Amino acid sequence: MKTFCGRANPATGALDWVEESEEYDYHQEIARSCYADMLHDHDRNEKYFQGIRAAVSRVKARGEKVIVLDIGTGTGLLSMMAVTAGADYCYAVEVFKPMADAAFRIVKKNGFSDKIKIINKHSTEVTVGLDGDMQTRANVLVTELFDTELIGEGALPSYEHAHLNLVQEGCEAVPHRATVYAQLVESEQLWSWAQLQPMEVDGCKLLPPPAVSHCAGAHSVCDIQLSQVSPHRFTPLGPLCTMFSVDFSKPVSSAPQSHSSSFPAQSSGRAQVVLSWWDIDMDPSGSIVCSMAPSWTYPDPQSWRDHWMQSVYFLPVERRVAEGEELSLTVSHDDYSLWYSLQPDGEAPPCRPCCVCQAHLVWTRTRFGELNDRQRTQSYVRALRSVVKPDSVCVGVSDGSLLPVFAHMLGSMNTRLLAAKTFQILGIRPDQLSSTDLAGEQISVLIGEPYFSTSLLPWHSLYFWYCRTALVRLLTPNATILPCSATLCMVAVEFQDLWRIRAPCGTCEGFDVGPMDEMVQQSLDFRESHESEPQPLWEYPCRALTQPRAVMTFDFLQCVPEQPIRCQGSLPFTRRGRCHGVALWMEYQLNDDIKVSMGLTRPVSEEGACEWSLHRKQGVYFFRSPWESSGDGRASVSYSFTFEPSIGDIKMDFTVASQ
């Protein structure tokens, strides 16, 4: 049986529906899961084990048999911890069938099959009774139903149902409670991800439309590795506030609620952004705590994790506050999401914000940041200034780009935007453009960032090249193409932590989880292990073990060739370390003097430190096994790249060998 899957086509810029085997979705789900990351999270695992031991001991101290309900069991790890701690029986619920099958094998391999029952259902479908999934209600509730926002995976409805139907009154719960914290800050960097800012072009100020600047934006959380945002990048306007707690040992409600915290402003500034995270107490006394706080809140580095990060929320409107002013920060939530507001005490909290200008639905957070990047804007403006003339006929090819606006402001009397005397937006594809659309004129300047919303990997923006080729009949003989070329670059890297998302675990807290490793590797081998994946590397520190290298150049002054473009070579290791894979990115040559990088933003330091663009994701090709580099140049990464014009994609292969 076959299934249809949507996939971005770099050659057409469209979302194509392609036929895949029925196993495709299954393997994608497993390959891109966070299971390996969770198993490598020793701090999380250790705290859960401590909390489970304490809960089992409290129930035994009451003279009761310990019956555990483990919702979202995953590998069965927490259930095995419970049995090891002395639980009499565990019901382990897992809705995802491949994961439930893996849990069954793991439980059996570790010798717990007589004490743990795997139930492949959603917890709200589990029944209790002589003929039910559970013989009796549990007196210990163990769960791991949380995401970065705490409640985004449906934790509240699941707890609500469990207390009503699956556990005893007064049960022990691990974790026992969760607490959400928030801090009001001013941050130019973070706020640039929320609203389009005024910008200046040749002394003229360009203001965003009121519909955009007054829009509350999308309410969805922005989850990031906040540890990688330096405290110098924001100004706290208030203290870290405890917003609300949820006691999981008691009945939980999923009904909408609001909670407020009042405080005097610590300093004057613009209230723009709320930084938020949570922690979980594994026991009633709060002596076993697992915290999601960013690393800069601790004197010593804490455990790294990617399955739980930190949250950034944007206030519906920016507000100026004065030092000492009494403020009230309110968090509201429904059963799946949170949103924040700043308002006077006693005033009813606002409804969940929603975008009414459409921009927040079309542009991602990082796209807003890219459009607001002044240095980047000036690079494009300088390049445009050198080619735009009063009689230029400019056509812009990019999604939601401001370059045609800049070109018009710089003097072009005829500017058109695909997706000036006149400025015209043409809502058609490049291959549909005709001379009639251009009023009989030809294009003298073709511009693009390039940026396309369908691009997943860096080289998918080569769609610009295909657009340039489709428009060749409408270009003047000496038409300027900006950018004039693109270059694919690579560097072999050692990741500080990101390697954990791909590394096998073997044993976890003394339990053999080998079947999980095998399942993940099988799914990776289905396709993912032969492909790159997009990652925002500014969030994931890494160290270069080779020099960066430009490996392929694409000449936009020429049409897309009919034959594949191939290149191969080797890159010697020049630094000692453990190589986990290769980072890849694109650089665009706007003209002879100006280049814009979508990857490294400055030269690699002598120690190998890398600084990456905040706006675009880079490609990461993980090696199946890490390679230990001595840094003496005797070992190297051999690479082979093939650009396939028919599909607009790049096939690649890497091997590591010593001389």
User: 350: domain CATH number?
Assistant: 2.70.160.11
Say if residue 300 is in the same domain as residue 345.
yes
Say if residue 536 is in the same domain as residue 557.
yes
pLDDT confidence bin for 419, thresholds 50/70/90:
very low
C-alpha–C-alpha distance, residues 621 and 652, integer Å:
9
**Predicted local distance difference test score (pLDDT) of residue 164:** 98
Asked if residue 169 belongs to a domain, the reply is no
How many domains does the chain fold into? 5
Exposure string for 365-381, b = 16+ CB within 10 A, e = fewer: bbbbbbbbbeebbebbb
Query: Among positive and negative, which fits the CA dihedral 419, 425, 427, 429?
Result: negative
List 275's β-bridge partners, or say none.
183, 312
Task: Judge contact between 543 and 609, C-beta under 8 A.
Answer: yes
Say if residue 297 is in the same domain as residue 442.
no
Asked if residue 581 belongs to a domain, the reply is yes
Average pLDDT, integer, range 576-585: 97
Max mean pLDDT among 404-413, 502-511, 525-534 falls in 502-511
C-alpha–C-alpha distance, residues 589 and 556, integer Å:
10
Asked if residue 64 belongs to a domain, the reply is yes
List 245's β-bridge partners, or say none.
179
Choosing from 144, 149, 160, 449, the catalytic residue is 144
**Predicted local distance difference test score (pLDDT) of residue 20:** 59
pLDDT tens per residue across span 304-324: 899 999 999 999 999 999 999
Say if residue 495 is in the same domain as residue 642.
yes
* Full DSSP string of 398-422: STT-SHHHHHHHTT-SEEEEE---E
Residue 529 has pLDDT above 60, yes or no: no
Query: Among positive and negative, which fits the CA dihedral 114, 116, 117, 120?
Result: negative
**Predicted local distance difference test score (pLDDT) of residue 301:** 62
**Which residues fall within 8 angstroms of residue 518, CB to CB, at 6 or more apart?**
none
Asked which of 482, 513, 540 is the last residue of a domain, the reply is 482
Choosing from 20, 46, 153, 611, the catalytic residue is 153
Average pLDDT, integer, range 68-78: 97
Mark residue 648 as left, alpha or beta (left: phi above 0; alpha: psi -120 to 50; beta: remaining). left
pLDDT confidence bin for 414, thresholds 50/70/90:
low
Average pLDDT, integer, range 1-19: 64
Residue 166 has pLDDT above 50, yes or no: yes
Asked if residue 164 belongs to a domain, the reply is no
Say if residue 458 is in the same domain as residue 496.
no
Asked which of 144, 169, 202 is the last residue of a domain, the reply is 144
Q: Of 14-18, 605-609, 630-634, where does mean pLDDT reach its minimum?
A: 14-18
Average pLDDT, the chain: 91
Rg of the chain over Cα atoms, rounded to whole angstroms, equals 28
Asked if residue 644 belongs to a domain, the reply is yes
Give the total residue count for the chain.
659
At 402, which CATH number?
3.40.50.150
Q: Which of 426, 425, 478, 418 is nearest to 451 (CA)?
A: 418
Residue 659 has pLDDT above 50, yes or no: yes
Residue 1 has pLDDT above 70, yes or no: no
Asked which of 448, 482, 516 is the last residue of a domain, the reply is 482
Average pLDDT, integer, range 283-298: 95
Say if residue 464 is in the same domain as residue 476.
yes
153 is catalytic: yes
Residue 420 has pLDDT above 50, yes or no: no
pLDDT confidence bin for 260, thresholds 50/70/90:
very high
Q: In what order do the strands lie in the sheet with 338-342?
A: 257-264, 326-333, 338-342
**Which residues fall within 8 angstroms of residue 473, CB to CB, at 6 or more apart?**
none
Asked if residue 163 belongs to a domain, the reply is no
Say if residue 86 is in the same domain as residue 212.
no
Say if residue 229 is in the same domain as residue 347.
yes
Task: Judge contact between 452 and 467, C-beta under 8 A.
Answer: no
Angle, helix 514-526 to helix 24-31, in steps of 10 degrees: 120
pLDDT confidence bin for 88, thresholds 50/70/90:
very high
Asked if residue 197 belongs to a domain, the reply is yes
Asked if residue 590 belongs to a domain, the reply is yes
**Predicted local distance difference test score (pLDDT) of residue 32:** 65
Helix (H) or strand (E) holding 130: none
C-alpha–C-alpha distance, residues 616 and 164, integer Å:
46
**Predicted local distance difference test score (pLDDT) of residue 37:** 85
Say if residue 210 is in the same domain as residue 302.
yes
Say if residue 22 is in the same domain as residue 60.
no
Average pLDDT, integer, range 370-398: 93
pLDDT confidence bin for 390, thresholds 50/70/90:
confident
Say if residue 25 is in the same domain as residue 38.
no
pLDDT tens per residue across span 483-504: 999 999 999 999 999 999 888 8
Say if residue 557 is in the same domain as residue 509.
yes
Max mean pLDDT among 35-49, 283-297, 516-530 falls in 283-297
199: containing domain: 178-363
- Of 552 and 25, the structure prediction assigns the larger pLDDT to 552
**Predicted local distance difference test score (pLDDT) of residue 528:** 54
